[in-house]
Chain A
Amino acid sequence: MAYSTYVPHVEAERAEMLRAIGISSMDELFAAIPRELQVERVNIPEGMTEIEAERMLRGLARRNRTDLVCFLGGGFYDHYVPAAVDAILQRGEFFTAYTPYQPEVSQGTLQAAFEFQSAICRLTGMEVANASLYDGGTALFEAMTMAARCTGRSRVLIDTGVSPIYRKMLHTYSAKLHLAQEEIGTRNGVLDQEAMSGALNDRVAAVVLQSPNFFGCIEDHTAIIERAHAVGALVIMSVYPLSLAILKTPGEMGADIVVGEGQSLGIPLSFGGPYLGFMATRKSLVRKMPGRIVGMTHDGKGRRGFVLTLQAREQHIRREKATSNICTNQNLCALAAGAYVALLGKQGLIEVAELCADNASYAYERLTGVPGVERTFRATFFNEFCITLPRDARDVIGDLIDRGFAAGFPVGRYYEGMDNVALVAVTEMRTKEEIDRLAAALEAVV
């Protein structure tokens, strides 16, 4: 009988299985499903040989411009990943995407996740973190439903400075949930505090904020967080974890749930991921937090050990009343983030963050010094800022691609009336020479 590794069922096996259950055809097997619900044809092209498939995939990959000098950001950044991160990831003991099915057997995997959680707590200034979620956007959605569970309320106020990609995801994920979302606009690049205060009332489950926001502006949200707490709402903050090495933490501001995209912590840029969501909260809310949590404990002989803890919140125990349908994590990416943070250490993280901020400052001066290029906002930024160009940012960015630069993101793609605005990110990877060349190229094309 012809068994194949890649095609699970060959004709002979199907026939054998049908015989075993006493029916004569696949049609008979699926007869219980109404005709109109049965798929007639699947739109998948004919099979290819390995050579053909590789040729096609390489052709597609070649269409990516990986040679451009990268000033792109908007939530995902071109940070350096030390080679040791990859070396640790690829160790056979670690190289798996998930927490194993008998997690406590894999003490090393659990310890790595525990250390990742500890790093997230330290960076965010929060008390507890989970073992990671899929990405920044899904983490934000989970935070929103968590806030609704904690408060028994269903209204959510969202700062439009929150990444538009995340806001789109919130909308999609909650389309069938009873969660009323209201967006609160920005003024001069930062949250319109007056509008947010005006919208707060005792029906609000959560206020969703982001700093640095999508425009790169840094905001101290302490005051608005106090006002939200006064009406019994929780505050969710989406953050850029690397920036927290030098910025006031959401914990210090009083945030209740902190989420974000962990890509900046040792994970390379890639189209579509895998990326890394994280979530941290206060101890008092931990039972409402979704995702896996690793705890440290002692075994019967008093030796240190790591376990999955508080599992009664999870889907395999609480079924439909679980805190989330997420019952796994992004373990390999969390391991990378844990390794990255451990390799750099506290001082190393501060230095990377300072380098980013310094480089961005220099780039800001150079780019806004180009005739015709204006500062869009006056707010303080970390490593990313907006500039206003004399013509459509999409066109200018297009022209700069021809000169070897991914110069930024056209903000008009997500924000009305901002067609001439480009969002420019600068990391520790960019040199003074590259920034000078970008300024010269910008001057030439505007």
Chain B
Amino acid sequence: MLVPDDLLYTQEHEWVKIEGGSAWVGITEHAQHELGDITFADLPAVGKSVAQGAELMVIESVKAASDVYAPLGGTVAEVNTALADTPELINKDPYGAGWLCILRDINAAEKTKLMSAAEYRAMLEKA
């Protein structure tokens, strides 16, 4: 299961990539695998503010409808509009073309609650 080293992870299987004051958000390879074929990404509204751990959006797959939680608090700056027509990008390329949204005005101090790639890998192995 692919777990890139340069990302941070949550227990709910989101990944985040911090660049300056912004953060790219997606779900992990493990998460997309567990969900199965993804049929719809209910993307958040641009400008929506979320706290760390709050519900960010919903992903629907053939198996379930699952909440995606905000790995960091912030404001939605941009969403991956390609997912509207091709939600399967999340299955195919969860760390790349299947990204979900970008948060701005993040609080870097909240990083301490996230896991490193090694920690996330260890969590997956334990489960």
A interface list, Cβ under 8 A from B: 152, 287, 312-313, 317-318, 321
A167, chain B: closest CB distance, angstroms: 31
Q: Which residue of B lies closest to A288 (CB)?
A: B42
Cα distance, A347 to B103, chains bound together (Å):
56
B122, chain A: closest CB distance, angstroms: 30
A287 and B40 contacting across the interface, CB-CB below 8 Å = yes
Note all chain A residues with C-beta closer than 8 A to B108: none
Q: Which residue of B lies closest to A322 (CB)?
A: B65
> Which of A152, A312, A317, A321 lies in contact with B40, CB distance below 8 A?
A312
| Number of A-B residue pairs at CB separation under 8 A | 16
**Chain B 30-46, CB within 8 Å of chain A: the 1/0 string?**
00000000011010010
Cα distance, A287 to B39, chains bound together (Å):
12
Note all chain B residues with C-beta closer than 8 A to A287: 40, 42
Note all chain A residues with C-beta closer than 8 A to B60: 312
Cα distance, A152 to B67, chains bound together (Å):
17
Q: How large is the interface on B (under 10, 10 to 19, 20 to 34, 35 or more residues)?
A: 10 to 19
Residues 44 to 82 of chain B near chain A (Cβ within 8 Å):
45, 58, 60-61, 64-65, 67
A287-B40, A312-B64, A321-B65 given; name 13 further pairs at CB < 8 Å.
Answer: A152-B45, A287-B42, A312-B39, A312-B40, A312-B60, A312-B61, A312-B65, A313-B65, A317-B64, A317-B65, A318-B65, A321-B58, A321-B67
B81, chain A: closest CB distance, angstroms: 14
Note all chain B residues with C-beta closer than 8 A to A317: 64-65
Q: Which residue of B lies closest to A319 (CB)?
A: B65
Note all chain B residues with C-beta closer than 8 A to A312: 39-40, 60-61, 64-65
B75, chain A: closest CB distance, angstroms: 15
Q: Which residue of B lies closest to A313 (CB)?
A: B65
Cα distance, A446 to B45, chains bound together (Å):
62
- A sample of 10 cross-chain residue pairs with beta-carbon separation below 8 angstroms, ordered by A number, consists of A287-B40, A312-B40, A312-B60, A312-B61, A312-B64, A313-B65, A317-B64, A321-B58, A321-B65, A321-B67
Q: Which residue of A lies closest to B60 (CB)?
A: A312
Q: Which residue of A lies closest to B39 (CB)?
A: A312
Note all chain A residues with C-beta closer than 8 A to B39: 312
B38, chain A: closest CB distance, angstroms: 11
Cα distance, A251 to B48, chains bound together (Å):
31
A223, chain B: closest CB distance, angstroms: 28
Note all chain B residues with C-beta closer than 8 A to A152: 45
Cα distance, A317 to B64, chains bound together (Å):
6
B29, chain A: closest CB distance, angstroms: 22
Report which residue of A152, A312, A318 has the largest number of chain B beta carbons within 10 angstroms of its beta carbon.
A312
Note all chain B residues with C-beta closer than 8 A to A313: 65
Q: Which residue of A lies closest to B61 (CB)?
A: A312
Cα distance, A347 to B64, chains bound together (Å):
44
Cα distance, A211 to B119, chains bound together (Å):
61
Residues 71 to 99 of chain B near chain A (Cβ within 8 Å):
none
Report which residue of B60, B61, B64, B67 has the largest number of chain A beta carbons within 10 angstroms of its beta carbon.
B60
Cα distance, A313 to B65, chains bound together (Å):
8
A297, chain B: closest CB distance, angstroms: 13
Cα distance, A313 to B58, chains bound together (Å):
11
Note all chain B residues with C-beta closer than 8 A to A321: 58, 65, 67
Note all chain A residues with C-beta closer than 8 A to B67: 321
Q: Which residue of A lies closest to B62 (CB)?
A: A312
Cα distance, A294 to B7, chains bound together (Å):
42
Cα distance, A312 to B40, chains bound together (Å):
10
Cα distance, A317 to B61, chains bound together (Å):
11
Instruction: Identify the 6 closest CB pairs spanning chains A and B, nearest first.
Output: A312-B60, A312-B65, A318-B65, A317-B65, A317-B64, A287-B40
B64, chain A: closest CB distance, angstroms: 6
B72, chain A: closest CB distance, angstroms: 22
Report which residue of B60, B64, B65 has the largest number of chain A beta carbons within 10 angstroms of its beta carbon.
B65
B79, chain A: closest CB distance, angstroms: 16
Cα distance, A152 to B48, chains bound together (Å):
11
Note all chain A residues with C-beta closer than 8 A to B61: 312
Cα distance, A228 to B67, chains bound together (Å):
31
A180, chain B: closest CB distance, angstroms: 22
Note all chain A residues with C-beta closer than 8 A to B58: 321
